[in-house]
Amino acid sequence: MEPRRPSWLFWLLALVLVLVWISPILATLLTSLKTLEELNQGLYWTFPKHWNLDNYIEAFVNGGFSHYFINSFIYTIPSLFGIIALSSLNGFVLSKLKFKGREKITLLFLAGMLLPFQILLIPVFYLSSNILGTYDSYLGVILFHIAFQLGFASFFMRNFMKSIPDSIIEAARMDGCSNLKIFYSVVLPLMKPAIAALSTLLFTWIWNDYLWALILIQSDELKPVTTALENLKGQWVSSYNLQSAGAIIAAIPPVLIFAFLQRHFVKGLTMGSGK
């Protein structure tokens, strides 16, 4: 559908709407820059008198956030690569290769993205601690994230692949390329927008995970930033300035990824949800 041309009234309303919408974030940002004395005077929703980054330094150094921050990357990056690798391959297979059982496999992946994850909670815990021995390790959480997101990611990639004409693959086949070669030299380059969109979503979801780290991780030194944040909430009960700084630190990587890939994100999502 053709978008309309905005008028000045639109910009006025839009600006007000956006400001109200993100006011919780602005308030958190302001709080994170204040001292505890200032907060105790009840000045919660004003600009800080002295701008300083002490809370961030405090959270990062004394709160151990630097460590939790790195942990979150250790969980997120390998999971992301694993899911992208497997789901783009699956997307190719499920949309461009003809074989018996294709529809059933597609349905299986689709069903996986619709189930409430509570049904997996206890067995995954059981599996990790009693059978695979991956309880309380980076690997255990990473493997689970890959498996859990495969359903959604494969379905997304399949939908995107459907918009790529079969003739391109046919031409490569005529040149004598094997399926694997077709995948990495023809299909993969065409999938870039979808990979960008999917990576943005997956990065956000895995980075922000709280429950699975809570279930599968016990040692403090392996905790990601989300569970650490919850602990720190208990530790600094009414130091809202420190908590705010922690909250902002935890949000920076997904915000950056999102801002960076935004253009690709909407485009890729549009094509992915096309069919």
Partner 1 sequence: MKLFDDSKSPWVFLAPSLVLYGLYVLFPIVFTFYLSVTAWDGISSFPLPMCITSPETSCLSNFTELFEAELFWKSFTNNLLWLVFFGISPLFGLFLALFFHVKSNFASPLKTLLFMPMVFSLIVVGMIWSWFLQPGFGLVDTVLHLLKLLPPDQEFGLMTELGLAPNAGVILAAIWPHSAYCMILYLAGLSNLPKNVFEAALIDGANRWQLLWHVILPMLKPATIIVVIVTMIGALRAFDIVAIMTNGGPANSTNTLALYMYQETFVNFRYGYGASIAVVLFMISVGLILAYLRQIKKGET
Signed CA dihedral, 125, 126, 127, 132: sign only = positive
Among 121, 133, 185, 235, binds partner 1 (CB under 8 A): 121
27-46: which residues touch partner 1 (CB under 8 A)?
27-28, 31, 42, 44-45
Among 56, 60, 109, 236, binds partner 1 (CB under 8 A): 109
Q: Which is nearer to partner 1, 80 or 96 (CB)?
A: 96
Two tokens, residue 268: 């890729």
Q: Which is nearer to partner 1, 51 or 99 (CB)?
A: 99
Is residue 181 at the binding interface for partner 1, with CB under 8 A as the rule? no
Nearest residue to 248 (alpha-carbon basis) of 35, 66, 56: 56
Rounded least distance, CB 63 to partner 1, Å? 14
Give the count of residues interacting with partner 1 (CB under 8 A).
97
Is residue 133 at the binding interface for partner 1, with CB under 8 A as the rule? no
Rounded least distance, CB 186 to partner 1, Å? 13
Two tokens, residue 54: 């002490």
Is residue 251 at the binding interface for partner 1, with CB under 8 A as the rule? yes
Among 12, 25, 57, 107, binds partner 1 (CB under 8 A): 25
Q: How far apart are CA 37 and CA 223, in angstroms?
A: 31
The torsion region of residue 133 among left (phi > 0), alpha (psi -120 to 50) and beta comes to left
**Part in contact with partner 1 (CB under 8 A); list of ranges 52-60, 62-70, 119-127, 187-195:** 119-127
Two tokens, residue 115: 């189930």
Q: How far apart are CA 269 and CA 265, in angstroms?
A: 6
**78: which residues sit within 8 A by CB, 6+ positions away?**
142
Nearest residue to 107 (alpha-carbon basis) of 140, 139, 155: 155
**Part in contact with partner 1 (CB under 8 A); list of ranges 50-58, 63-71, 144-152, 187-195:** 144-152
**Part in contact with partner 1 (CB under 8 A); list of ranges 47-55, 56-64, 185-193, 254-262:** 254-262
46-85: which residues touch partner 1 (CB under 8 A)?
none
Among 8, 47, 51, 99, binds partner 1 (CB under 8 A): 99
Q: How far apart are CA 214 and CA 206, in angstroms?
A: 13
Among 148, 156, 160, 236, binds partner 1 (CB under 8 A): 148
Instruction: Tell me if 157 sits within 8 A of 191, measured CB to CB.
Output: yes
